[in-house]
Amino acid sequence: MDDAAVRARREQNLAAARTDARGIAPSIRNFAQAIDRQRQAVEHVPVLAASRAGLFEAARALDAAEVAAIAMTVDDPAAEVPMFARAAQAVSVPVLRCDLLLEEFQVYESRAAGADAVLLHARFLPGEQLERLCGAARATHMAACVACDTPDEVQRAAAARAVVVALARPGEALFAAVPRRVLVLALDAVAAVRGRADALLDDSIGSAPDPAAAFRIALERD
């Protein structure tokens, strides 16, 4: 994520409709529980683009392959949130929305579309913003996953009661800062250290021509 991506998302947010949080049903699929392998193994969570051709078939095939959870990214919310919603409804496993979320209404938008967890970036949510968005996730029974680049950000995530900390790189100081009961989601294969990370957001599986086959190959390789 760079400054250009943040500016583009803020412009999209200015034109976006606001979801009424009062009518949103809470999540009943537990993302944190799904990826919790007690760090005996690293759970692969395939990342699908909501704009992908054959999204629904890919999501259903991954569900049938017994993935623990699925992640999806939204590039153009106006066009792709409905596709996200259809795919989320088609599967039985928890769904994580993992594109750039900067405002509270996006958390409610995600839940209304069927998300069971959201990825938040601590560096883009200064001050009380991180705590507010984590609180919105909890209010809808979603898991708040917070991407952190520094030990200080890990501490902010813990203070905001995030149930999952997402790390893009390994590092003893980062791992040591994660509270014992908080799960670790690796954002990159380099950070998916066995015994330290619970799950990996796997773009390579989600972008494969046959994600379900790629997922089975990853399991065999592990």
CATH of the domain at 215: 3.20.20.70
113 CA to centre of own chain: 14
* Any domain includes 25: no
Other beta carbons within 10 angstroms of residue 201's beta carbon come to 27
Q: Distance between CA atoms of 130 and 159, rounded to whole angstroms? A: 10
Structural domain contains residue 177:
yes
Distance (Å, whole) CA 49 – CA 136: 24
In-domain check, residue 201: yes
Residue 171 lies in a domain: yes
Q: pTM score, two decimals? A: 0.95
- Residues 91, 93, 94: CA angle, nearest 5 degrees: 115
> 14 with 7: CB under 8 angstroms?
no
Q: What is the pLDDT of residues 109-135, one digit of tens each?
A: 999 999 999 999 999 999 899 999 999
Which whole number is the average pLDDT over 198-218? 96
Q: How many domains does the chain fold into?
A: 1
- pLDDT, the chain, mean: 94
For residue 30, is it within any domain? no
Domain-embedded: residue 166: yes
Q: What confidence score (pLDDT) does residue 37 get?
A: 84
Determine, yes or no, domain membership for 26.
no
Domain membership of residue 100 as a residue range: 3-17+37-221
Query: What residue type is 168 in one-letter code?
Result: A
Q: For 28-43, write each residue's pLDDT tens digit.
A: 999 999 999 888 889 9
Report d(CA 46, CA 68) in Å as an integer: 9
Length of the chain (residues): 222
Average pLDDT over residues 13-30: 89
Residue 66 lies in a domain: yes
